[in-house]
Chains A and B, each alone.
Chain A
């Protein structure tokens, strides 16, 4: 049987708890209505990198953080700060140089034919097209650095950008350790005036 003093103390504790609960509930409701929907838009100019004045480049180094959109598809992350693996099919967008519409240009792709692919699957044949114009393929039977270069007529160079599509006939298929399909090592792409 609890002492009378103890019962009184417990009753008073319950009353205080009840009062605090009611006050908190009322305060929460008022705060809810007053505060909700009153937030200002957040502004932080460092949260977005603005577009450059000349957004497209005629020469794209694959490690350039300013031109990621021009590596349209088929590229993996930069490695060694300088190059990227490509998939079997990859695509790059380039801006024709100012005099391209009259003289045509030269498409230049600097690459490395990887030993890992050639030693396992044999010579790699690289084919390409630019704005739907088929370009002559080239075969690399030894690993090493190469330059794939082709003349492009002015008729294929309309608009602010052109799309060059590449296809490698060999690649390392995805594996358990690496889910990427690896074909070539890309260094840079360019449309050079003739």
Chain B
């Protein structure tokens, strides 16, 4: 009972603090990874989905691939099973951290405190709330499990524990590339905590662990192509390394700008020096654990991310738990100092965890509503895409750049024209270009039934396809009043009632037709007209075209060349300058009828412009 309470204590505290993560939905990278399952049709495609490098050349078979493929296949687009799996993995890691911590400090209380300190950290919000960061949770769990097997092997020499260490260590490469650091951590523990001579016969086996790491590192660096233009993930081994390390150290202790760092970091440093002065190298292992697991990400100065601290933080947590127990046991004064430090840490960490986990939940809730709307659109309009109106930068950053559209069953997704202003898109993910669309394109796609328009709101999205089309056309026409392309649907409101339907980007007019344009803004401006002279229309000779502007005769032109485009221009009278609208009327000299077509056809037109 006591032992069960020991192991359930840290998970219970974790659940009390991070309960919101169970109600947090998917975001960004999750959508790409959820889409993996739909690429699996047979054994070869399963192999590709599991082992083909993605993102920055990563092949995380367990944490990225199997995790998403299996849970998506079992539960669909449901986030709760993912977060339950993440929390369960984390609980295992906490139990292992407590066990290992108790051996480091020689105190079960210190181990338990270490597990508690590890989980009461803002650093863990991201990994527990964002499924795509399962990699760091699984890495921590597998690394600790492998180390625990090593510890048990050192204690019992039972070969099963050694086999367990190797299996868990090798599995760790499927969690995250950082597993290459495990052999160094294992060797350090064996020497610094277990106090074994690692160069002695029977102990040198620890060096065999370096072989898979070396092979993995060589394959990863030499054979897997990397995106070298990536700004965020560009490796830089330079003078920025100490600064990056200092930043991570500050992040590990507490949220940005909190004064606790100025107190807690020196206290932990002093405790480490005191243990080393007492020739207790176990403190060195704690510091080493932090540095070793952080080392692979230190050369990424453009991608300093809190979640990378998940595994390294265990080192500082062991140190912290140990320091607290040592202080409480040393006397009342040191106990009071320890209690003060603990209070300071908790006073900073608890509100930060609450705020950050609420942020994840709120952001992803909006994305969930938008995504469910996309799914329903795909259900009601199979094969259609969607144009989204009202997507703000926050929502966009939550997943609109990660192609959730295909996953929802849509053929594509676009931002409503003009709404891309104020949105910051990542260029390394393709920027905003692929998501933008012009007003005429939008109108034409709506008319062709290729897209629906969804208004993003606080609740479920609203289908606004027809109102959006009318508004888009009105907006467009208000901005392009000096130009009409009769061959495009968006200009239909500028045309009089006699025009025929659009054919091949042109429209036939009968005997007479009208077009509305803005009046010239200054004297000297002209009316420019383009069209096409079909041979059928010119079979009986040239066709005359007479133009008027608001009743004023502009002149007559003749279309002579069959099957050729034509263009003409007419000076506009000064009295029309500044007129809000002028009506251009066109009259053809003769019309004809095609066999089987009852329409009187005069001439095919393209554009009218005043400039």
Contacts and interface: CB of A to CB of B under 8 A. Distances in A.
Interface in A49-95: 49-51, 55-56, 65-70, 72-73, 91, 93, 95
Contacts of A18: 163
Interface stretch (A28-36, A115-123, A141-149, A167-175): A28-36
Interface string B336-375: 0000000000000000000000000000000001001101
Contacts of B459: 49
Interface string B303-337: 00000000000000000000000000000000000
Given A32-B66, A41-B375, A163-B478, A69 B160 contact: no
Interface in B366-392: 369, 372-373, 375-380, 389-390
Nearest to B49: A36
Contacts of A43: 375-376, 379
A55 B464 contact: yes
A160 B467 CA distance: 9
Query: What is the interface residue range for chain B against chain A?
Result: 35 or more
Contact of B470 (A13, A55, A65, A133): A55
Given A2-B158, A32-B69, A36-B69, A158 B455 contact: no
Most buried by B among A7, A17, A46, A159: A159
25 contacts: A10-B159, A10-B160, A35-B74, A36-B46, A39-B76, A41-B409, A46-B460, A47-B375, A47-B460, A48-B462, A50-B463, A51-B465, A51-B466, A66-B462, A68-B464, A69-B464, A69-B467, A72-B471, A72-B475, A132-B518, A153-B580, A155-B580, A158-B493, A159-B473, A161-B473
Contacts of A48: 372-373, 376-377, 380, 454, 460-463
Interface string A124-162: 000000011100000000000000000001011011111
Contacts of A163: 471, 474-475, 478
A44 B373 CA distance: 9
A17 B418 contact: no
A14 interface: yes
Contacts of A23: none
B281 interface: no
B157 interface: yes
A131 B478 contact: yes
B73 A39 contact: yes
Nearest to B162: A14
A49 B466 contact: no
B522 interface: no
A33 B375 CA distance: 24
Contacts of A178: none
A105 to B, nearest CB: 14
A159 B493 contact: yes
A5 interface: no
The 5 closest A-B pairs by CB, nearest first: A159-B493, A35-B73, A55-B467, A47-B372, A36-B40
Contact of A36 (B37, B156, B369, B581): B37
B581 A155 contact: yes
A158 B495 CA distance: 10
Contacts of B38: 36-37
Nearest to B457: A68
A56 B580 CA distance: 25
Contacts of A47: 369, 372-373, 375-376, 460-461
Nearest to B419: A73
Interface of B: 37-43, 46, 49, 66, 69-70, 72-74, 76-77, 156-160, 163-164, 167, 369, 372-373, 375-380, 389-390, 409, 418, 453-455, 457, 459-468, 470-471, 473-475, 477-479, 481, 493-494, 516, 518, 580-581
A165 B475 CA distance: 10
B565 to A, nearest CB: 28
Contacts of B467: 51, 55-56, 67, 69-70, 93, 161
B455 A68 contact: yes
Given A17-B160, A37-B41, A68-B457, 16 more contacts: A10-B160, A33-B42, A37-B73, A43-B375, A47-B372, A48-B462, A56-B467, A56-B470, A56-B471, A65-B457, A68-B462, A69-B389, A91-B475, A131-B474, A132-B518, A161-B471
B463 A10 contact: no
Contacts of A29: 46
B46 A32 contact: yes
Given A33-B46, A42-B76, A21 B70 contact: no
A159 B477 CA distance: 9
Interface residues of A, number: 56
B463 A39 contact: no
Nearest to B50: A32
Given A69-B471, A159-B474, A49 B379 contact: no
Nearest to B456: A68
Nearest to B494: A158
A131 B477 contact: yes
A38 B73 contact: yes
A139 to B, nearest CB: 24
B66 A132 contact: no
A37 B49 CA distance: 12
B494 to A, nearest CB: 7
B579 to A, nearest CB: 9
A89 to B, nearest CB: 12
A102 interface: no
Contacts of B380: 48
A33 B471 contact: no
A11 interface: yes
Nearest to A31: B70
B41 A32 contact: no
Contacts of B464: 51, 55, 68-69
Nearest to B76: A39
A2 B157 contact: yes
A165 B478 CA distance: 10
Contacts of B455: 68-69
A32 B473 contact: no
Contacts of A39: 37, 72-73, 76
A62 to B, nearest CB: 14
A46 B368 CA distance: 13
B6 to A, nearest CB: 23
Nearest to B479: A132
A87 B320 CA distance: 52
A188 B25 CA distance: 36
Contacts of A162: 474, 478
